[in-house]
Amino acid sequence: MVRRESIEERLKELDEIIQELFKYKDTSSDALKRDLSQRWIIERGLIAGASIIFDVSDHILSEEFGFFAESYEESLSGLFEKGVISEELYRQIRGLGGFRNILIHRYTGIDPDLVFENFHRGLKVFPRFAREVLAWMEMA
């Protein structure tokens, strides 16, 4: 059985991350190329947000459906297949696992344009993920 309080707590943490990331929403791609410190702040927020999304995904899949994903991408597709998230969100969030791994394992060799693109995508999909999971919990 899904531990609702645990998921709600994790989604509150995700909301805090989203609020911090929104402080940098006007940061340009050029600024990310020039300012390593600012890029690292954004990268850290994206790592933290993605980690929460995968924690929540794995919890829902294992506790509600007895499904244990073998990869981050399988977690996301599992949520879609089980009706937890919409097809539209799945299309938008797909690839987050690979990007998270790039952030975790590449350190300074990360393309700032890739960070910029995924940062702005995260500003849209992170809040939507939280909304859709909360809506699913209300219906479950």
- Residue-wise pLDDT tens digits, 52-62: 999 999 999 99
Per-domain residue ranges of the chain: 4-20+31-139
Tokens representing 93 are: 């969030």
The answer to whether 21 and 42 have CB atoms below 8 angstroms apart is yes
Q: pLDDT tens, 68-95?
A: 999 999 999 999 999 999 999 999 999 9
Name the pLDDT band for 106 (thresholds 50, 70, 90).
confident
Average pLDDT in the chain: 96
Question: What is the fold, at CATH topology level, of the domain defined by 4-20+31-139?
Answer: Four Helix Bundle (Hemerythrin (Met), subunit A) (1.20.120)
Digit-coded pLDDT (tens) for 16-60? 999 999 999 999 999 999 999 999 999 999 999 999 999 999 999
